[in-house]
Chains A and B, each alone.
Chain A
Amino acid sequence: MPSEPITAANGTIPRSLPVLRASRIAKRYGGVTALAEGELELAPGEVHVLIGANGSGKSTLCKIIAGATGPDSGVVELDGAPRHFKAPRDAAAVGISVCYQELSLIPQLSVAQNIFLGREKVVARTFVNSRKLNDDAARLMERFQGVAGENFFPNTLVSDLSADQQQLVEILKTAAEDGRIVIFDEPTSSLDNRQVELFFGLVREMKSAGKAIVFISHRMRELFEIGDRMTVMRNGRTVGTFDAADATEGQIIGMMIGNDIVSSAQSPQEKSPQARSAKTVLQADNLTGRTLNGVSLDLAEGEILGLGGLHGQGQSALLRSLFGADPAADGIIKIDGKVVKVSGPRAAMALGLAYVSGDRGRDGTLSHRPVFENLALARLNKSHATYIDVAAVSDQVLPVAERLKLKYAGLGSPISQLSGGNQQKVVLGRWLAAEPRILLLDDPTKGIDLQTKKDLYALLAELCLGGMSILFYSSDDTELLSVSDRVLVFADGQVVDELAGERLTEFELNQAAFASSASAEATA
């Protein structure tokens, strides 16, 4: 491997004895291996960056270290002695604190109550001195004075705070726990530049107090600014640890996606450019909402436009707002050049849109109802029929079932008796039967088998030849790149890059997803 200059083998030796060492950690969830061989070594007084693409196992590794879940195999050693944490409080008791990505605050309590939750000084086993609590909280909150926005006081209820303020409280809560080992799982994703700078100030103080800090972020610039050492993960394995000063962005991204994949990059040439006509079908202009920060795009007739990037950067929110499931607060949607208002799914359907969610249990299947109803529901709702002629409707939906190669006992059998992949086919079939012009696919292959996926790809290509236009979000980067004509890379609710032609590679995708957050901030 000549192009890979840094590996685990020549990783640097920590400056002092490690406080924590996790070795050969493995964890499976059902049939999915979340972590195959996770390794992490933390020295006191360092900021250790943990980096990896979607599903590389960062969060799982952190959860195991924090005792939130147990490993299937492997050892976590603290000061050289192996530890088995049965619950997060076991880990907290020995000084491991975690600032979680999904906020763990209690909305009904005040900022001060949240910061000191479970550690309040109690009088006579019952009463909390709330004035002292508020004073203590105010002292901690001083750090973010001037950048935290309005109504950021110790007695403010957390439910009244904005997303970034809540994140600041989560950070202060973690800091107040005063652990020896502190894990920050994407703490900066909702913070602006000034808030991040002040947060880094806090991290540096913690570092000089001799704490070991793990920092996860997808903003490459931040990783280099604050990190002392870096550990890269890929497909559930730790692929290397090295000094931040020795690395470059390109090398890290190369390690994240693996050189083997780079060399066997997709051949986007296999798609004929003629497949894409010049006619724009769908246009979105500056869509803004809770998780969308001004997204614009245009979709041509017969095109598959991919939406990529890390999880939850606004891809799903975009599709749902286009379909009217969660309408955007602001922005313009045009279909065939005409401005349209998508007030809800019914309006979207009338405009020829269809939305297939990957979360079929929540958004798709009518579990114990017959396959027939599950296939015909959208078509019939669109048709305004009153009486259902079962024979006629069956004739209309049977070709769809055939086209999808659906395996089922009969139209009358409940959908719950089908395999997961076939259930997903039914949900897709429901929309094909409704004969849409624009298909919005929201991670439609999540948790379905390989054969079904292959069938789906072939079907999508066929649909596009027939003039269908498709917006395709997938959390599987390989799939996304091989299916899409173009890929828009999302970060923080914005489109940060557009990949097409020779740039349709995993390297480019990850570089855009990780690195261009800096440019996103600059405009924010």
Chain B
Amino acid sequence: MPEPLRPRRRLMQPSVIPGFGLAFGYMLTCLGLIVLLPLAALVARASGLGLSGIWEVATDPRVAAALKVSFGISILAALTASTFGFLVAWVLTRYDFPGRRVVDAVVDLPFALPTAVAGIALASLYAPNGLVGAQLAKLGIQAAYTPLGIYIAMVFIGLPFAVRTVQPLIVEIDREIEEASATLGADRLHTLTRVILPPLIPAVLTGFALAFARGVGEYGSIIFIAGNLPYVSEIAPLLIVIKLSEFDYKGACAIAVIMLAISFATLLAINLIQAWSRRRFGYV
């Protein structure tokens, strides 16, 4: 079939769906007002310090320690949340059992719960005199008021993201593919690792990214269980609050900008891995 006449390369392929201009303009306006404008204001406020000033804030030992706590624990928590979340999603879609819908609804609760309530609930549970904390204390483990407490809170708030991103894809897996795989002689493990898991990887990564981003930005629930000791269990958002109570708006914005930059880099990296896995496995 001959190519249609194209006088020059166009920036974008014309679409068959009408209304591109209107929709695109609307999208830009909304995105600009709701997302980009506040971010720009943040950057503008921080830019009063200049790049060297922001770098100074970032390399301040206490800020660096808090960033390490925030990002390090978020990654660990997101790993846990996506592993465990995958399992939850799998059980919820592949098996039928009494109370399945209730469990399905329970998964969303961390979304809906005010974070402070979650924090207080977790702290009273994991405190040395709490239900779980008392048992852990017997083993010599202190959960609340240590970095472990931060991890627990982050897993709690990140889990629904991990579950809800993977679940629809597991639903969509065609049973016939598994049957075909079996008919063609693959054993169960082979079917799982070569047929079922690869198309789910991008969704798992998305869930990981969301849980990670949520954990990094979380303040309310963590503050009650973290202990908040400088250099040990102090998260970066708390340092922002501390800067604000010193009326140091620039410093607060600088930490926020640094967090944004690291988060953006991490999310970008995850997106690249996703793109790579799509190419590699040729799915979705």
Q: Do A and B bind each other?
A: no
A residues neighboring B (CB under 8 Å): none
